[in-house]
Amino acid sequence: MNERKLIVIYCRVSSAAQNLDLQISAAKRHLESVGLKENEDFIIYLDDHDVSATKLKMNQRPKLMELIHLIKEGKVKSVIVYKRDRLARNFYEFVDITKVFIKYKVEVIYTASNEPPFKNKLALEAFYGMFSQMEGQNISTRTADARKQYPSNIFGYKRITDDANKPKYIINQDKKDAIQSLFIDFSNVRDEEHFLEFLLVRRKGLNNPDKILRILTNPFYSAHYESKNGYQVLPHVEPIISLNLYLASKSHIDKFIAYYHEKLTELNKQHLVYPECGECGNMMKHRKENQLDLGYFVCSSNHQRLSISVEEINDSVTQAVLDHVQSLSITLAKKMVPKQITVAHKKLQNALESTKSEYLETTLRLCTIDRKAKSTISNYLKEIQVLKDKYNELEQDLLTLQTLGKEIKDTTQLLSQLNHDFTEQELYRLVELFVDKIFVYETYIQIDLFLSTFAKESNAS
């Protein structure tokens, strides 16, 4: 007797604050209308709770994926779902789901009173899917607009409710002067250097450059919000500044923001390497006084606190690499390195061939196993998997060795052509190629370098 196919009730809500009651009740009413009880063995419930279809891709919604797997296994007769937008808000994802429904001849029932019934035609269902995507985009827009007009928390304001239980924003007098001064001071900024100085001025509660930029680009402080139709008044907000002052700031802030981000990118490139703590061996943590500071590295894991500035690390590493480059015998390196790489390559290639042969032999033994020895099959399978993993690792080692050979060739070529007057980019590349590890101790720094074997002193022979 064939196993009865499943009826699956799929429900989804986007946030933890929402519940599934409406969708489940509608599904139960449908079951009653066709003479079925909700607790039948062949009826199952799949619920994606607190799962947003606009924020998460289809494969990140576990119960939806379970539903699709069940359908592809041929186990599902019917899917009951409240509306199409419960399945997907993305047009392409909805089309993919609909293709699965049609291919496996699944009956789809939508239980919302205003939802058109499922049509077994992809073109028509795709048309409905476009509306689901548009509604999802509209929800995102409405949510963003609501946050602009009614933020849950914003610096400089106290959120209260009026007699009609509607939110109202009154000025926090302790923050008012700081915000007004911020806009006035920025209106006097004329160039990029002045802008950086402006960001680094210490202000009470306003020492974070990112926070300062968020305030300067938010019309809420003028009791307005920006819509596609221009600036709209927010009657529930007390203005801290005038709209004219906000617009004056906005008119020239974009170019400074672009410069600020360029500066941050430039600063991030200054971390030539991350050092390890000489006391405990842990990677040291990077800390900054502010966003525009190079910062320092620190570690205090069960020992006395160790710290060192990024600038000191960079200077030490740069000098060590330059000294190392001048001490290298390029001739010796060119002579010895290719030979060593060739030897290592032959060893790996032989190990690869040996593993491949062993893998084929084990597979052949498994295929020709006697019926009486079925109990040993699992052991053979484990052995085959081990050999397969070993083969993959050896292949990866060969690729790594080839990459290493190329990097060393590039390095020796670079060093033989240059006169040690390196550009900044060349210096970064040399640090990347030569520095293995850096250990910071209380009184000194240890820098381990590659190719130390080829120092000129060792060329005496």
pLDDT at 1: 45
Tens of pLDDT, residues 252-299 = 887 788 888 777 777 666 666 789 999 898 999 988 877 777 788 999
Torsion of CA 24, 27, 33, 38, to 10 degrees: -70
Given CATH 3.40.640.10, say whether it is the number of domain 6-147: no
In angstroms, how far apart are the furthest CA atoms of the chain?
A: 96
Give Cα 328 distance to the centre of its chain.
41
Q: For Cα atoms 156, 146, 237, give the angle at the middle one, nearest 5 degrees.
A: 35
Secondary structure (3-state) at 92: helix
Check pLDDT > 80 for residue 427.
Answer: no
Pick 195 or 453 by higher pLDDT: 195
Which pLDDT band holds residue 103 (cuts at 50, 70, 90)? very high
Distances (CA, A) of 43 to 56, 154, 211, 228, 247: 27, 48, 52, 48, 60
Region 77-97: mean pLDDT is 90
**What is the bridge-based pairing of β-strands 43-48 and 76-81?**
unpaired
List of E strands, 278-358: 285-287, 296-299, 306-309
Q: Which of 213-222, 283-292, 322-331, 355-364 has the highest mean pLDDT?
A: 213-222
Check pLDDT > 80 for residue 99.
Answer: yes
Domain ranges for the chain: 6-147, 157-267
Cα–Cα distance for residue pair 457/435, rounded to 1 Å: 20
Question: At 103, phi and psi to the nearest 5?
Answer: -60, -40
Cα–Cα distance for residue pair 110/116, rounded to 1 Å: 8
Cβ-based burial of 4 (10 A; exposed 0-12, middle 13-18, buried ≥19): exposed
**Cβ–Cβ < 8 Å for 418, 426:** yes
**Cβ–Cβ < 8 Å for 63, 10:** yes
> Which class in CATH covers the domain with range 157-267?
alpha beta
* Total residues found in the chain within this entry: 461
Tens of pLDDT, residues 42-59 = 999 999 998 988 788 888
Query: Any idea what DSSP says for residue 207?
Result: -
Question: At 106, phi and psi to the nearest 5?
Answer: -90, 135
- The rounded mean pLDDT for the chain is 82
